[in-house]
Amino acid sequence: MNALLQQAPSWGNTLWFILAAVILLAVLLGFVTYAIYFERKVIGWMQLRIGPNRVGPLGLLQTVADVTKLLLKEDTRPKHADKALFTLAPILAYAPAFAVLAVMPFTESIQFADLGIGLLYYIALSGITVLGVITAGWASNNKYSLIGGLRSAAQMISYEVPLVMSVVGVVLLTGSMNLREIVEAQRDVWNIVPQFIGFAVFIIAAQAELNRTPFDLPEAESELVAGYHVEYSGFRFAMFMLAEYVYMFGMGTLITILFLGGWLPIHPALGFIPGIVWFVLKFSLYIFLQFWIRATMPRLRVDQLMSFAWKVLLPIALFNILLTAVVVSYQNGMF
């Protein structure tokens, strides 16, 4: 893929790009389908239910049926909604979530673009999602979605700060923003060990970034019914849903890369197992953690959420930077 990127643009390689993107999209859709299935199953099991089991064998086609239903639904739009923005919002939410995957190295060879500032690219693009959410909240002409939109704007912007701060430690350790290099730097020990504080902050902030329990305030179905996408249905709603899970995919990938050593095996002796398997394993672990938390936790209140971000997480993240900086300086012989 990198070789393709170096070539001069032509019809041929453009087609290749499109094809690769389509393949990635298909993989993603597959992931989303089964992430939802997995989520429902896991939460069901934890709640002593058996989860989806009626569509297809073991209920494996449940999500397919759901999505088909969503696609077949009538495209409704509230009467006084802002037409243009209402249409734009799901795209605005989905596109960056998809675009961030371009820089993710899934294994040594499977990567679309090896950017020197991959991490920065990710952070910059993922910040756009909030625009989609707030646009949706505004354009729907619904008070619940407005409140939901504003809540999520506040929340996502607030948590972006500790999220970014928490990875600075990793960047300091590695000395690079290139995701591939970050993984390679974890050959000896995964970042989760030296950067545990950063990892903890990142996990929490990521949870908030993804609007998932216990930070699912923008959607908070018991308060705001469905938050910013309360007026969306059918295909547009599917876009939001997709954005949410794709974003989760992105976040899972990032966490695996930054802290869990990407495609590296637990022990070099296990290196015969292909990197992609390791990657998927670690990644699934994170996804499982998501669902596990969702099955257990209640939701925070919005003011608690904000003060938690600014008064707890941010100081911890800053402290982590300081600590890492001191340690790194010490190792480099500055003291």
Partner 1 sequence: MLGLAKGLGYTFKKLTEKKVTHFYPDVPFPMPPRFRGIQHFSPEKCIVCNQCARICPTECIQLTGKPHPDPDKKGKIIDTYDINFELCILCDLCTEVCPTEAIVMTNNFELAAYSRDELYKNLKWLDDNNTNVREEN
Partner 2 sequence: MNQNILTTSVDTSSENGIRTEEMLLNVGPQHPSTHGVFRLVVKIDGETIKEAIPVMGYLHRGTEKLAENLNYTQIIPYTDRMDYVSAMTNNYVLCHAVETMMGLEIPERAQFLRLIAMELNRVASHLVWWGTYLLDIGAMGPFLYAFRDREMILDLFNELCGARMTFNYMRIGGVKWDAPPGWVDKAKEFVQYMKKELNNYHQLVSGNEIFISRIKGIGKFDTSTALDYSLSGVMLRATGVKWDLRKDEPYCIYDRFDFDVPTATEGDCMARYQVRMAEIEQSLRILEQALEQFPSEGEVIGKVPRVIRPPAGETYVRIESPRGEIGCYIASQGKDKPWRLKFRRPSFTNLQILPTLLQGESLANMIVILGSIDIVLGEVDC
Cis peptide before 96, with omega less than 30 degrees from 0?
no
- Min dist CB 66 to partner 2, Å, is 18
User: Are residues 233 and 140 in contact, defined by beta-carbon separation less than 8 angstroms?
Assistant: no
* 292 lies in the site for partner 1, by CB under 8 A: yes
Answer whether the bond into residue 274 is a cis peptide, omega within 30°. no
Give the side-chain half-sphere CA count within 13 A for 74: 3
Closest CA to 258 of 213, 197, 200, 192: 192
Contacting positions for partner 2 (CB under 8 A): 43, 46-49, 143-144, 147, 151, 213-214, 216-217, 220-225, 294-304
Q: Does 293 bind partner 1 (CB under 8 A)?
A: yes
Contact 305, 208 (CB under 8 A): yes
Per CB under 8 A, the segment of 64-72, 255-263, 268-276, 291-299 that binds partner 1 is 291-299
Of 58, 276, 280, 295, the one binding partner 1 by CB under 8 A: 295
The site partner of 50 among partner 1, partner 2, none (C-beta below 5 to 8 Å per kind) is partner 1
Q: Does 50 bind partner 1 (CB under 8 A)?
A: yes
Token digits of residue 13? 């390689």
From the CB of 200, what's the least distance to partner 2, in Å? 15
| CB closer to partner 2, 15 vs 50 | 50
Q: Does 57 bind partner 1 (CB under 8 A)?
A: no
- Pick from partner 1, partner 2, none: which does 306 bind, CB < 5 to 8 A by kind? none
Partner that binds at residue 73, options partner 2, partner 1, none, CB closer than 5 to 8 Å by kind: none
Q: Which residues have CB under 8 Å from 311's CB, separation 6+?
A: none
Q: How many residues does the chain have?
A: 335
